[in-house]
Protein backbone atom coordinates (compact mmCIF):
# COMPACT_ATOMS: atom_id res chain seq x y z
CA UNK A 1 0.00 0.00 0.00
CA UNK A 2 2.88 2.36 0.67
CA UNK A 3 4.48 1.78 -2.76
CA UNK A 4 1.50 3.01 -4.84
CA UNK A 5 1.14 6.08 -2.62
CA UNK A 6 4.87 6.80 -2.89
CA UNK A 7 4.74 6.36 -6.68
CA UNK A 8 1.72 8.67 -6.98
CA UNK A 9 3.37 11.36 -4.83
CA UNK A 10 6.61 11.16 -6.84
CA UNK A 11 4.69 11.40 -10.11
CA UNK A 12 2.70 14.39 -8.81
CA UNK A 13 5.90 16.22 -7.75
CA UNK A 14 7.58 15.54 -11.12
CA UNK A 15 4.55 16.85 -13.03
CA UNK A 16 4.34 19.93 -10.80
CA UNK A 17 8.04 20.68 -11.38
CA UNK A 18 7.65 20.27 -15.15
CA UNK A 19 4.64 22.59 -15.19
CA UNK A 20 6.60 25.34 -13.44
CA UNK A 21 9.44 25.37 -15.98
CA UNK A 22 7.98 25.85 -19.46
CA UNK A 23 9.98 24.55 -22.39
CA UNK A 24 11.75 27.27 -24.34
CA UNK A 25 10.09 28.27 -27.60
CA UNK A 26 11.88 26.87 -30.64
CA UNK A 27 13.97 29.36 -32.59
CA UNK A 28 12.81 30.19 -36.11
CA UNK A 29 14.82 28.27 -38.74
CA UNK A 30 14.93 31.27 -41.10
CA UNK A 31 15.46 35.01 -40.90
CA UNK A 32 13.24 37.54 -39.18
CA UNK A 33 12.82 40.34 -41.73
CA UNK A 34 11.99 43.77 -40.30
CA UNK A 35 9.23 45.44 -42.30
CA UNK A 36 9.21 48.64 -40.27
CA UNK A 37 7.91 47.95 -36.79
CA UNK A 38 7.08 44.25 -37.20
CA UNK A 39 8.95 41.21 -38.47
CA UNK A 40 8.08 38.45 -40.93
CA UNK A 41 9.73 35.03 -40.74
CA UNK A 42 11.27 33.99 -44.09
CA UNK A 43 12.96 30.59 -44.47
CA UNK A 44 15.03 30.17 -47.64
CA UNK A 45 17.13 27.12 -48.48
CA UNK A 46 18.91 25.58 -51.44
CA UNK A 47 20.52 26.90 -54.57
CA UNK A 48 19.54 27.18 -58.15
CA UNK A 49 18.78 29.54 -60.98
CA UNK A 50 15.12 29.74 -60.03
CA UNK A 51 13.57 30.77 -56.68
CA UNK A 52 10.37 29.03 -55.65
CA UNK A 53 8.20 30.84 -53.07
CA UNK A 54 5.77 28.73 -51.02
CA UNK A 55 2.66 30.46 -49.63
CA UNK A 56 0.82 28.57 -46.86
CA UNK A 57 -2.88 27.89 -46.62
CA UNK A 58 -5.08 29.46 -43.95
CA UNK A 59 -3.96 28.41 -40.48
CA UNK A 60 -0.75 26.87 -41.88
CA UNK A 61 2.85 27.92 -41.41
CA UNK A 62 6.24 27.82 -43.14
CA UNK A 63 7.09 24.45 -41.59
CA UNK A 64 3.99 22.88 -43.18
CA UNK A 65 5.93 23.11 -46.46
CA UNK A 66 8.89 21.05 -45.17
CA UNK A 67 8.09 17.94 -47.23
CA UNK A 68 8.03 20.12 -50.37
CA UNK A 69 10.86 22.52 -49.52
CA UNK A 70 13.38 19.86 -48.48
CA UNK A 71 13.52 17.92 -51.78
CA UNK A 72 13.16 21.06 -53.95
CA UNK A 73 16.18 22.72 -52.35
CA UNK A 74 18.50 20.33 -54.18
CA UNK A 75 17.68 21.97 -57.53
CA UNK A 76 16.26 25.42 -56.70
CA UNK A 77 16.29 28.19 -54.15
CA UNK A 78 13.12 27.70 -52.07
CA UNK A 79 11.52 30.16 -49.64
CA UNK A 80 8.60 29.66 -47.28
CA UNK A 81 7.26 32.24 -44.86
CA UNK A 82 4.87 32.85 -41.99
CA UNK A 83 2.24 35.51 -42.66
CA UNK A 84 1.92 38.31 -40.13
CA UNK A 85 0.66 37.14 -36.72
CA UNK A 86 1.32 33.46 -37.38
CA UNK A 87 4.07 31.11 -36.15
CA UNK A 88 7.24 33.22 -35.73
CA UNK A 89 5.99 36.38 -37.47
CA UNK A 90 4.86 39.41 -35.50
CA UNK A 91 1.37 40.88 -35.81
CA UNK A 92 1.25 43.37 -38.67
CA UNK A 93 -0.99 46.26 -39.72
CA UNK A 94 -4.75 45.87 -39.75
CA UNK A 95 -6.97 45.31 -41.61
CA UNK A 96 -5.03 42.38 -43.03
CA UNK A 97 -5.79 41.89 -46.74
CA UNK A 98 -4.46 39.80 -49.60
CA UNK A 99 -2.81 42.92 -51.02
CA UNK A 100 -1.13 43.57 -47.69
CA UNK A 101 0.21 40.01 -47.51
CA UNK A 102 1.48 40.15 -51.11
CA UNK A 103 3.21 43.47 -50.31
CA UNK A 104 4.77 42.02 -47.14
CA UNK A 105 5.98 38.93 -49.00
CA UNK A 106 7.49 41.01 -51.81
CA UNK A 107 9.15 43.34 -49.28
CA UNK A 108 10.55 40.46 -47.22
CA UNK A 109 11.98 38.73 -50.30
CA UNK A 110 13.57 41.98 -51.49
CA UNK A 111 15.03 42.86 -48.06
CA UNK A 112 16.42 39.32 -47.72
CA UNK A 113 18.20 39.69 -51.07
CA UNK A 114 16.21 36.99 -52.86
CA UNK A 115 16.36 37.41 -56.63
CA UNK A 116 13.23 37.53 -58.80
CA UNK A 117 11.54 36.37 -60.92
CA UNK A 118 9.86 33.82 -58.65
CA UNK A 119 7.84 30.70 -59.21
CA UNK A 120 4.96 31.21 -56.78
CA UNK A 121 3.26 28.21 -55.16
CA UNK A 122 0.10 28.82 -53.15
CA UNK A 123 -2.00 26.32 -51.24
CA UNK A 124 -5.64 27.11 -50.37
CA UNK A 125 -5.82 30.79 -49.39
CA UNK A 126 -2.11 31.00 -50.24
CA UNK A 127 -3.26 30.58 -53.85
CA UNK A 128 -5.11 33.86 -53.57
CA UNK A 129 -1.99 35.48 -52.11
CA UNK A 130 0.22 34.36 -55.00
CA UNK A 131 -2.40 35.45 -57.56
CA UNK A 132 -2.47 38.88 -55.89
CA UNK A 133 1.35 38.95 -55.84
CA UNK A 134 1.54 38.06 -59.55
CA UNK A 135 -0.98 40.76 -60.40
CA UNK A 136 0.86 43.42 -58.38
CA UNK A 137 4.41 42.36 -59.36
CA UNK A 138 4.23 40.71 -62.80
CA UNK A 139 7.89 41.47 -63.56
CA UNK A 140 8.87 39.50 -60.44
CA UNK A 141 6.74 36.46 -61.31
CA UNK A 142 7.84 33.76 -63.74
CA UNK A 143 5.12 31.22 -62.96
CA UNK A 144 2.45 30.06 -60.55
CA UNK A 145 1.38 26.73 -59.12
CA UNK A 146 -2.00 26.66 -57.38
CA UNK A 147 -2.50 23.77 -54.96
CA UNK A 148 -6.14 23.26 -54.01
CA UNK A 149 -6.42 27.05 -54.20
CA UNK A 150 -9.52 29.09 -53.53
CA UNK A 151 -11.16 31.03 -56.33
CA UNK A 152 -11.61 34.78 -55.86
CA UNK A 153 -15.33 34.08 -56.27
CA UNK A 154 -15.39 31.62 -53.34
CA UNK A 155 -17.31 32.56 -50.22
CA UNK A 156 -15.85 32.35 -46.74
CA UNK A 157 -17.27 32.85 -43.28
CA UNK A 158 -16.02 36.20 -42.04
CA UNK A 159 -17.21 37.50 -38.66
CA UNK A 160 -20.38 35.43 -38.86
CA UNK A 161 -21.28 36.38 -42.45
CA UNK A 162 -20.61 34.75 -45.81
CA UNK A 163 -18.46 37.07 -47.88
CA UNK A 164 -16.97 36.68 -51.35
CA UNK A 165 -13.19 36.39 -51.16
CA UNK A 166 -12.88 39.05 -53.85
CA UNK A 167 -14.59 41.51 -51.50
CA UNK A 168 -12.06 40.77 -48.74
CA UNK A 169 -9.05 41.44 -50.95
Q: What is the pLDDT along the chain (169 residues), one digit of tens a residue?
A: 556 555 555 555 555 555 566 778 889 999 999 999 999 999 999 999 999 999 999 899 999 999 999 999 999 999 999 999 999 999 999 888 889 999 999 999 999 999 999 999 999 999 999 999 999 999 999 999 999 998 888 887 777 888 887 666 5
* pLDDT at site 14: 56
Task: Determine the Cα–Cα distance for residues 166 and 53; give it in Å rounded to an integer.
Answer: 23
Does residue 54 contact residue 65 with C-beta atoms inside 8 Å?
yes
Contacts of 59 (CB under 8 A, 6+ apart): none
Task: Determine the Cα–Cα distance for residues 6 and 114; give it in Å rounded to an integer.
Answer: 59
* pLDDT at site 168: 65
Contacts of 42 (CB under 8 A, 6+ apart): 30, 31, 33, 79, 80, 81, 108, 109, 112
Cα separations in angstroms, 60 against 43, 51, 82, 151: 14, 21, 8, 18
Q: What is the pTM of this model?
A: 0.82
* pLDDT at site 21: 63
Amino acid sequence: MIRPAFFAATLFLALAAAAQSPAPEPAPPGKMIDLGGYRIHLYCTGRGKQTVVLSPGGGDFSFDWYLVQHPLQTTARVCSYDRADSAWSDPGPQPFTLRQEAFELQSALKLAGEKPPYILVGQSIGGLVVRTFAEAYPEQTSGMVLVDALSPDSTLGYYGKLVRVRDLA
